[in-house]
Chains A and B, each alone.
Chain A
Amino acid sequence: MDVALKLTELPRRTAATVETVEDLSPNDAIARRLRELGFVSGERVEVMAAGPFSAEPLLVQIGFTRFALRRAEAARIRVVRAVEQAA
């Protein structure tokens, strides 16, 4: 079952796929940079951990790289939970 979530709503250490990055405003520079960092449709993404205070920021694995993203940044990223593969 495909359910689109915000990355912030994704449980920790759960595999998911990026669907899109939403612009919160016209020419959203943060959304543009997120796409440049690899948050584009079809990429595997996972929330690995969260910071010690108020669970901020999130430690996000995208591609082969880890980024620290604040929740406001991560909320721009729409993801779909990965369907369990048989193989």
Chain B
Amino acid sequence: MSAAGNIRLALVGSPNCGKTALFNLLTGSRQKVANYAGVTVERKEGRFNAASGRSYAVLDLPGAYSLDAASLDEAVTRDLCRGFYPGEPAPDVIVCVVDATNLRLHLRFALEVRELGKPMVLAVNMMDAAKRRGIEVDLAALERELGIPVVPTVAIRRDGAEALVAKLDGVAGSIHEPRGHMSAAAMVDPDALHAETRRLLSLAVTMPRRTAEIDDTLDRWLLNPAIGLLSLATVMFLIFQAVYAWATPMMDAIDAGTVALGEFVGATLPEGPLNSLLVDGIIAGLGGVIIFLPQILILFAFIIALEESGYLPRAAFLLDRMMSKAGLSGRSFIPLLSSFACAIPGIMATRSIQDPRDRLATILVAPLMTCSARLPVYALLIGAFIPQQQVGIFNLQGLVLFGLYVAGILSALAVSWVMKKWRRDKGEHPLMLELPSYRIPHPRDVLIGLWERAWIFLRRVGGIILALTILLWFLLSFPSAPADAVAPAIDYSFAGRIGHAMTAIFAPLGFNWQICIALIPGLAAREVAVSSLATVYALSAASDEAATAALTPVISDTWSLATALSLLVWFIYAPMCISTLATIKRETNSWKQVGIATGYLFGLAYLASLVTYQVAVLLGAG
């Protein structure tokens, strides 16, 4: 809720106009990310105080090419600008952001916004890039012709929004509704909008050439059929090697910290259930999850940087044909790439796919992308079973990890292809994707993006995972073993009984009862499977020394290679994340789709693991 006296700004603009960078510059870390009421479109709000002492609440509206909405995002922007959005107050001032290097496209949208007749300021962004390219924009002429205040902004410079804030401060109380230059009938006529855009351009803009030379050169190489695909493969491969190599020192530090904290708490508190809950349940469980934050952050740093640089749409361009053959679209690439970090933001990112069929297909296969929550499981199993050796210039462990990623991708393409054939769909599904100018990502935008992702991940850790860790600890600790027990205490617990019962179903896959127990909490979030295994083995260990020993030597001693491979394959497919299923429900608003996703993923997981285990045993890995 904005306090009385706050001025509500709404930032609007076409995709790639630098609107979010401007939003980050204005509000810094004072941002709140949520959803608009009733829909799953992301709502970003922030606030800032101007030098005058006046405080502003800023809403970063979804990017739109037109108010004649073609997607849910654009509909939200349209309704909010008009002040019709339920539960959202109408903005006091609309700040329409346009890219100075892309005015032909963006001015048309600005004219459309102006026709709403709301108080409005035009921010001509990326004035620095325009200057470098020799583009001259006569802001005074624009201001005169448009009849609204026009200010220059440079979102990547610290003082780049000063002119905007000064203008808002000066006129915020007195910005009048613009006088329309065109009749209401002209508004619906696209030709009139284009004619007016052309008139403004000829009056106010001189451009030595239509495109940036650097874009032409980069596109010639990066979109070249051979070199482009090779570059894309190289970029992806480097990302995965970096995630594996760079994260290790940070993970070791977190691990050491968790162990030290556990020992300290264990030694300080008296023996008993509380000590056990804190050390074996909460500290060990949470530590085993937070340890993977470095990998998530490194992966997201790459994804955000690629997105900011303008390379991601190029990747979509290169892959569109292949993906549309498989019943997806080039636009699916970005959501699917995000799903490598987590399927939840990935599925939420499918909102940028306007076509309903492409969107649904992307949502259904997104869980097959190897999300970061699987990395803990993969890292544990690869570390324990795959020897640390060089294969040519590559690390064998890295190669196996790469293979698991590839298996997920190929399965996703196969599944979406089958879905396409199943539907026998003949309709047309558009691409129409803008390839923006290349840009050097600004550290501020990458850091704010990373902070949001880390916060989302940690909130999940804090909520669902903590609750489950405690539940699991309870299942593992009660009922306690009788005084004359010969077997380990866990055999008498609820968890032991459930795990033993499950082995009847999972024995053909080579899963022992410890794995079966870990699969239960793993249903809520895959990464919990690792902390659960740690808990299971720590509690069933005979001594304190064994309990604090790392999980790696334990499983490499007690599991066969066939079991490890089978579990790796299981995690490629298994629908092991209730949060993902909940997101699918929210995004499709259909329990049927949730059922389809769960059913096919479970079926694939069981079948693939069964084949892997049985073949591995036949080959002598049992």
Contact = CB atoms under 8 A, between A and B. Distances in A.
A14 B225 CA distance: 20
A41 B192 CA distance: 12
Interface string A43-87: 010001101111011010101111111101100000000000000
Contacts of B321: 51-54, 56-57
A73 B433 CA distance: 11
Contacts, number: 112
Chain B interface residue count: which class?
Answer: 35 or more
Contacts of A54: 321
B435 A66 contact: yes
Interface residues of A, number: 32
Question: Mostly helix, strand, loop or mixed at chain B's interface?
Answer: helix
Nearest to A21: B190
A30 to B, nearest CB: 5
B431 A69 contact: yes
- Among the interface residues B65, B66, B105, which one has the most CB atoms of the partner chain A within 10 A? B105
Interface stretch (B311-319, B414-422, B476-484): B311-319
Nearest to B226: A52
Contacts of B194: 38, 40
Given A36-B65, A57-B431, A72-B428, A63 B320 contact: no
B434 A67 contact: yes
Contacts of B434: 37, 65-68
A35 interface: yes
A64 B219 contact: no
A34 interface: yes
A64 B104 contact: yes
A52 B211 CA distance: 23
Contacts of B432: 30, 33-34, 37, 67-69, 73
B166 interface: no
A54 B321 CA distance: 8
Interface of B: 65-66, 68, 70, 101-105, 108, 190-191, 194, 207, 210-211, 215, 219-220, 223-226, 228-229, 313, 316-318, 320-322, 324-325, 330, 428, 430-435
15 contacts: A30-B432, A36-B65, A36-B66, A48-B219, A49-B224, A51-B321, A52-B318, A54-B321, A56-B320, A57-B321, A57-B433, A61-B210, A61-B211, A64-B103, A72-B428
Question: Nearest 5 pairs between A and B by C-beta?
Answer: A52-B225, A63-B104, A53-B321, A56-B321, A66-B435
